[in-house]
Structure formats: C-alpha cells, structure tokens
Structure 1
Amino acid sequence: MGANVLAVQVENLKKIYKVGEEDLNALGGVSFQIQKGEIVAVIGESGSGKSTLLHILGTLDSPTSGKILIDGKNPFEKNDKSISSFRNLHIGFIFQHNNLLPEFSALENTMMPGLIAGYSEKNVRQKAEKLLENVGLNKRKNHFPSQLSGGEQQRVAIARALINDPVLILADEPSGNLDSKNANLIHELFKEIKIKFKSTILVVTHNKEFAAALPRRIRLRDGLILSDEHSS
C-alpha cells in the first residue's frame, strides 16, 4: 500500500442542533484523518458526539459547517438522491440493532445493497454467498432472521455491509446487544475482516476491552476530540 492513502478526512466538523431557543453544540470543530485499511474505535460518554459523528460520516445527517471527504469526495456537494447513491456504494453500516429485513433470508439480506446499486443478480448472489461463508454462515444462508441467533444476525449484517466493497464501514455498538461470548466473536470477526478485505472501519463502542484491543482510539468529550491514541 502506498504511504498515507486516506479513506476519510474530517476538517473542523461542527454540528449545531436547535433545541427550542437554545443551540446545542453536538460537535464543536472536530478534525482527524483515517488511512485506508485502518480500524479505529470512537469512544466517549453519552452525549459526547459519537453518534452525531457517525451519522454525518454515514451521510445520514449533514454538518452545520466543516468538511468531510470520503475517498477524496465530498458527498454533501451532491443532491439528496446522489447522497443516497453515494452512501449505498461507498459506505457499509453495521448497527447495534442489525436492521435485517425479517421477510428475507440471510442471503437475500446480504444481497440487498448490491441489487439496489444495480449490479447483476448473479454476481451479487455469488458474492453474497462468499461473504456469508467468510463470516461462517454458509450453512445458514437460507434461514430467515427469526431462525438465527443474535450473533448470527449480526454476522449477516457484517456480510451485508461488505457487499459493495465500501470505502468505509461504520459500526455503531456492533456488539451492544450480544452476550459476552458472542460479543467476543464479533470483535474477532472485525479484526479478520480488516485483514481479509483491507477494510477501513470506524467503530463506536462502549466496550472498553474491544476498544483497548484496537490499534487506535479517538475519545470524544462534549463534541471535541479529547485524545487520539495509537497503540504501538
């Protein structure tokens, strides 16, 4: 890999919400960069700005001021339809509540973003099957979410996030709903994905052990970066 290939650039990012007559500063001018292939934890207390940052990076919310570049592109220079397309093609999401569609099988759920992007069904199906195999679910691909355990559902969500080869994977408390055994399995899977797919991953987590095991931690407090630590 060439030196310093950036997946994400965040420059003086601010987000102000109007609450009645008051201005709530959710982000007060945040700047950082993430190189391609990095896995980064974002940590901090409730109300520190973690979710706001995640939603803006995922183009689910827009900044008040400042700039984000994902793979060198500013998604907010586009109209709403183009932003949705950008999100589907370039960003993979893994939520605490896995947001699987109950009426579709594990395989169909995994295929969904690829079909929305307009790729051929045959290619998307082959890729989805391979991804489910990678997360240890090739024998469960035709099961519906209700027939899968919480840990299995979250593994389907991880496969779905990878289907379009996103520049950036955003994970919001990906093990927050799981018992410690399944949480640990998901944490290990993230590390495997980073190696196997060279994915760039930003994880918001309250899990101190998971955060400590990752090579970089950005700590937020009151909408500002308190620290940005790299493990040796």
Structure 2
Amino acid sequence: MAVQVDNLHKTYKVGEGILNALAGISFKINRGEVVAVVGESGSGKSTLLHILGTLDSPSSGKILIDGKNPFEKRDKSVSTFRNLHIGFVFQHNNLLPEFNALENTMMPGLIAGFPEKTVKEKAKILLKKVGLTKRELHFPSQLSGGEQQRVAIARSLINDPILLLADEPSGNLDSKNASHIHELFQEINQSLKSTVLVVTHNKEFAASLPRRIRLRDGHILSDEQNS
C-alpha cells in the first residue's frame, strides 16, 4: 500500500465561520497505481494534494505513506521525509533559472546528501527518459514550456519517490505539449512502476487514467476505475 487516507478532515477559519475543505475522506492507493483527482474549484483537490505532500497538515484524521505517518515527526523530519519520499510536479515548474536542466534535476538528490557523481548519473538517465539528453546543459530560459515541465518531471523522480504528486501539470501548456506530458506520466508509471496522483481539470487526461476520485465540497463523490 503506497497511500492510506483515514477520515481526513481539514478546516480553516474564515472570518467568523469555519470552512470544511476536507470533510472526513478515506481511500487507499496501491503501489504502482495512477489516480486522477477531479472536481470543481473549491472541492478540496488542492488541499488534499498539499496534505499528502506534507505541505499542509490535517486538522484530524490520518495519512500513511508507505505505512508511515509523516506528521508524527518533527518539522525538520517532515521536510526530510518529503524530499526523500515524495516527488512534486506543479503547474508552474519552479525551475531555478540560474541552473541548467541537469543541475535542476540533480537538486533534490544533492539536498538529500547523496553523492554528486551518483546523482549526476541518475539525472542524466532521467533526462534521457523524458527526451532531453541534448538539452541537459540548457537553462530554463532556453527551453520551451513543455521542455521545462519535462525537466520538472525528471527532477521529481531523482530520489525514487514512493509517491509522485502532480498539480495541473499541463495547465500552462498548449494542447500538443499537454498531450505529450500526459503520455509521459503514463510511460513513467509503466517503466518505473511509480505511484502517481494527479490533480487535473483536463477531462480527457483524467478519463485516460485507470482510476478517478471525484471530490465535491470536501467529500468523495465517486471513486471509479476503468473496467
């Protein structure tokens, strides 16, 4: 089991009232699954992703990633757990402009303290996997939007994460590049057996994935799998 979510609640104080962003949701994701999380704006998708990524903490309930509860650790340990075990791909790729594609890909591995030679070799392999071998010494400003997002995907995989989280990964791309990114996620899942959770508004992309969790007002409206 890669992910287990039990009775997860997240509330925010808004003025004099309380907003229930997540209202007691539960589900499990097996290792190697690819799951889309869909729903209208305000349904709780981003809140769920941020908690699974340990960028935010639950109000109550529990999450387990690879059988471990990251919130039982101290703040520093939570950040270490995040870097070692969770990969992120955001709508805005957040590449560091002063570093080239290879260096950006290496960054989480270097932060984790792995040997530079090992990290560099692995980064080269990942950039080859996303089709950027000839662009590895280019800086973000020299790459197209689709190429930048491919670097971000390679970077997210450098530490062999238990869980890869993607938040609207093709939201800033034209339809052609978006289609390439969608295909790349499925290729990565098949070749690396990565567990992937994708928040997306793209109906075609969501429909192409084997499982869809639909949220509404902080509740799970449906949890469907392709037959």
Q: Secondary structure at the match of 2:186?
A: helix
2:156 is matched with 161
Instruction: Structure 2: state its 5+ residue gaps.
Output: none
1:10 to 5, 8, 13: 5
Deviations 1:128-151 (A, max 9, x none): 000000000000000000000000
Q: Secondary structure at the match of 2:222?
A: strand
Whole-Å separation in 2 of the counterparts to 1:96 and 1:187 = 13
Q: Secondary structure at the match of 1:37?
A: coil
2:207 is matched with 212
Q: Secondary structure at the match of 1:88?
A: helix
Deviations 1:120-174 (A, max 9, x none): 0000000000000000000000000000000000000000000000000000000
1:3 is matched with none
TM (norm. structure 1) is 0.98
Deviations 1:8-53 (A, max 9, x none): 0000000000112210000000100000000000000000000000
Deviations 1:199-224 (A, max 9, x none): 00000000000000000000000000
> Which region of structure 1 is more displaced relative to structure 2, 87-96 or 14-23?
14-23
TM (norm. structure 2) is 1.00
Q: Does 1:139 align with 2:134?
A: yes
Whole-Å separation in 2 of the counterparts to 1:77 and 1:160 = 27
- Given residue 22 of structure 1, which amino acid in structure 2 is its aligned partner? G
1:19 to 14, 17, 23: 14
2:225 to 212, 215, 230: 230
1:34 is matched with 29
Q: Name the Cα RMSD after superposition.
A: 0.3
Q: Secondary structure at the match of 1:178?
A: coil
Q: Does 1:94 align with 2:107?
A: no
Shift of 1:56: 0.1
Whole-Å separation in 2 of the counterparts to 1:194 and 1:167 = 12
Whole-Å separation in 2 of the counterparts to 1:127 and 1:185 = 22
Whole-Å separation in 1 of the counterparts to 2:47 and 2:25 = 11
- Given residue 10 of structure 1, which amino acid in structure 2 is its aligned partner? V
Instruction: Structure 1: state its 5+ residue gaps.
Output: 1-5
Q: How many residues align?
A: 227
